[in-house]
Amino acid sequence: MEALLIMVVAFAGYLLMYQFYGKYIGNKIFKLSRTATVPAVELEDGIDYVPTKKEVIFGHHFASIAGTGPIVGPAVAIIWGWVPAMIWIFFGSIFMGAVHDFGSLIISMRNQGKSIADYTAKYVNNRTRFLFFLIVFLELWIVVAIFGLVIAVVFHMYPQSVFPVWCEIPIAVYLGYLVYNKGKSIMTWSIIAVIIMYITVAMGAYMPINMPAVAGIPATGVWTIILLIYAFIASVLPVTALLQPRDFINSHELVIAMALLVLGVFASAFGGHLHLVAPAVQMNPAKAPPMWPFLFITIACGSISGFHSLVSSGTSSKQVRSENDSLFVGYGSMLMEGSLATLVVVAVSAGIGMGYTTKAGVTLTGVAAWTSHYASWASAAGLGSKLAAFVNGSANMIETLGIPLNITLVIMGVFVASFAGTTLDTATRIQRYIVAEIFGHLKMDFLTGKYVATFIAVGTALILAFATGAGGKGALMLWPLFGAVNQTLAALALIIITVYLKSKGGIKWVISGIPSVFMSCMTIWALIENQTKFIGHHNMMLEVINGVILIIAIWIAIEGFLKFFTIKVDEPEGVKSPV
């Protein structure tokens, strides 16, 4: 019953905090205006700038920021215990992550939908903008390359998910055609689309697809190439052709998956099968880095993630049709992600104890199941291990509802792969924006076109993916940097939000200022710890890149600090000119 109590208390807390803290920030701190002109309306072009209903853009935004992030982070961090994991997820998502996401979104909306890297020049200076671009490009470079591999790994682990995941694309394209070309109801037809989607899930359970090696390239490499080609196509299409309808289907898929998990928790708990088997606190797990600061780096998307600021100021700010909708999209989706991360904690701290099959084929239950999977940091940290802990723990709980285990595994496999796919093509589209902005500032307009910029985004990711061989696993070289880079970006975004709020007068800046100081300390601390480790391992490449990131993080923090104390207060924002 402890696991059930964790879920219920957390969910109730998220609902209350959205109603009180979230709306307070929207109405009193950012002073949202229903009549302010937003980029989606001002710059509407039918491709990137498209005014969209908040329910639809919520689906896109959530699917983009979620991906596998709120899954893999908690699935590893549980090694330090479920108590610190839940404390960070709950309070981090409410007071840091949601403020970060919403702040990045609304500031971008008040700056013609420009990326956070671009509008940094306005609120700090041009030097900071250039440094911010470097951090953002590096983060997206890794994300685009690694998420092709993530989906390839999911397809290898759960070949039954391949058929339904690819079927979702034509289903989404036809949904977009019906809604935007024929004027059909998106709610009605998206529900029909989801029903068809789950029919393909049932079919997939009985027709697994295993990718063979092609021309000496192993399956993971083949899938990575296919997925990056898909990302190129998806990111140059109008958002109404694939991105919006596919992500709206994914939002329904999320609701169904979370509903199954919630019902599974209730059924398992009241059936006497669900018990917490993870330790409450484990300060020194075998071969793991110290909980401080790495808990706050390992759990990112479920609490606060710099990648979210790129989605907020990249694709979402160009589609939100009213400032009032931004609270639901920006703040609300982060709390939804905190809810998903909470369910992940329940799955990997309790659900896994209902049954776990080791590599040797031995099925364990209870504490023995958890201990076997989390015997050491190395055993829990692999990508496949992270995903397996969540999928198997979730499947155990959902199976108590009477759904066959083989179907349940496909449902969760498709859920993970679909959201990873959303992150992949959204990150590619955002990288295209970043490349165009960089070359635009360098007066190299011939490199800012949609197709050229996307080719650069995908091409650089392809080079990284295959830098170590045909398996497409090259991004794993830089993966040890990703957590610190991602959270460094979150800290820097919070600094920009704080400077923005300081310019409006009063003490509004406190709501982002305190989180920015905390995240700056945690990420710089983690970067220093990583630098020490890389030097000890004589890893020159990681030493150099991590060192550069550390210098940039400190530099921007100092620039932001100096700007904070010298900034002049703006005139009050008006409805016609919201800045």
* pLDDT over threshold 50, residue 330: yes
Q: What CATH number matches the domain at 2-566, 1.10.3470, 1.10.4160, 1.10.357, 1.20.120?
A: 1.10.4160
Which residue has 């599974």 as its token pair? 264
Q: How many CB atoms lie within 10 A of CB 258?
A: 16
Give residue-wise pLDDT tens across range 487-505: 999 999 999 999 999 999 8
| 345 vs 89: CA distance, rounded Å | 10
Q: What is the reported pLDDT for 384?
A: 65
Mean pLDDT throughout 435-451? 90
Q: How many CB atoms lie within 10 A of CB 511?
A: 22
209 closest CA partner among 508, 447, 414: 414
| 259 vs 262: CA distance, rounded Å | 5
- Contact indicator for 515, 100 with CB cutoff of 8 Å: yes
| 466 vs 83: CA distance, rounded Å | 39
| 524 vs 495: CA distance, rounded Å | 14
Is residue 214 helix, strand or coil? strand
Q: Cα 475 to chain center, whole Å? A: 17
Helices 162-180 and 186-204: angle between axes, nearest 10 degrees:
160
| pLDDT cut 70: percent of the chain above it | 97
- Which amino acid, 25? I
| 218 vs 237: CA distance, rounded Å | 29
Q: What is the reported pLDDT for 421?
A: 86
- Contact indicator for 340, 258 with CB cutoff of 8 Å: yes
| Residue 71 burial class via C-beta count within 10 angstroms: exposed 0-12, middle 13-18, buried 19 and up | buried
Give residue-wise pLDDT tens across range 191-236: 999 999 999 999 998 999 999 989 899 999 999 999 999 999 999 9
Q: What is the reported pLDDT for 411?
A: 87
* Pairing mode of beta strands 356-357, 363-364: antiparallel
Q: What is the reported pLDDT for 18?
A: 98
- The residue ranges of every structural domain in the chain are 2-566
549 closest CA partner among 452, 495, 480: 480
User: E-assigned strands of 296-453?
Assistant: 356-357, 363-364
- Contact indicator for 472, 466 with CB cutoff of 8 Å: yes
- Contact indicator for 81, 278 with CB cutoff of 8 Å: yes
Specify the pTM.
0.91
Q: Distances in Å between the alpha carbon of 445 and those of 289, 437, 439, 441?
A: 45, 10, 6, 9
Element (H, E) at 90: helix 82-92
Q: Distances in Å between the alpha carbon of 543 and those of 202, 481, 548?
A: 48, 10, 9
Mean pLDDT throughout 315-319? 95
| 37 vs 56: CA distance, rounded Å | 20
Model confidence band, residue 571 (pLDDT cutoffs 50, 70, 90): very low
Whether the bond between 293 and the residue before it is cis, its omega within 30 degrees of 0, is: yes
- Contact indicator for 352, 361 with CB cutoff of 8 Å: no
- Contact indicator for 364, 410 with CB cutoff of 8 Å: no
| 359 vs 412: CA distance, rounded Å | 20
Mean pLDDT throughout 348-372? 86
| 51 vs 574: CA distance, rounded Å | 22
The segment with the largest mean pLDDT, out of 342-356, 363-377, 415-429, is 342-356
Q: What is the reported pLDDT for 272?
A: 84
Q: Give strand pairing partners of 52.
A: 320
* pLDDT over threshold 50, residue 579: no
Mean pLDDT throughout 543-565? 91
Phi, psi dihedral angles at 545 (to 5 degrees):
-65, -45
DSSP per position, 433-497: HHHHHHHHHTT-GGG-SHHHHHHHHHHHHHHHHTTT-TTS-GGGGTHHHHHHHHHHHHHHHHHHH
Q: Which of 337-341, 379-383, 523-527, 570-574 has the lowest mean pLDDT?
A: 570-574
Average pLDDT of the chain, as a whole number: 90
* pLDDT over threshold 60, residue 12: yes
Q: What is the reported pLDDT for 72?
A: 83
* pLDDT over threshold 50, residue 135: yes
* R_g of the chain, CA atoms, integer Å: 22
Q: What is the reported pLDDT for 192?
A: 94
- Which amino acid, 466? F
Give residue-wise pLDDT tens across range 82-122: 999 999 999 999 999 999 999 999 999 999 999 988 888 88
Q: What is the DSSP letter of 306?
A: H
Give residue-wise pLDDT tens across range 509-539: 999 999 999 999 999 999 999 999 999 999 9
Q: Give strand pairing partners of 341.
A: none
* pLDDT over threshold 70, residue 383: no
Q: How many CB atoms lie within 10 A of CB 15?
A: 12
| 528 vs 283: CA distance, rounded Å | 20
424 closest CA partner among 85, 5, 141: 141
Residues sharing a CB contact under 8 Å with residue 360, sequence separation 6 or more, in sequence order = none
Q: What is the reported pLDDT for 574?
A: 37
Torsion of CA 197, 203, 207, 212, to 10 degrees: -10
Mean pLDDT throughout 21-46? 95
Residues sharing a CB contact under 8 Å with residue 16, sequence separation 6 or more, in sequence order = none
- Contact indicator for 49, 316 with CB cutoff of 8 Å: no
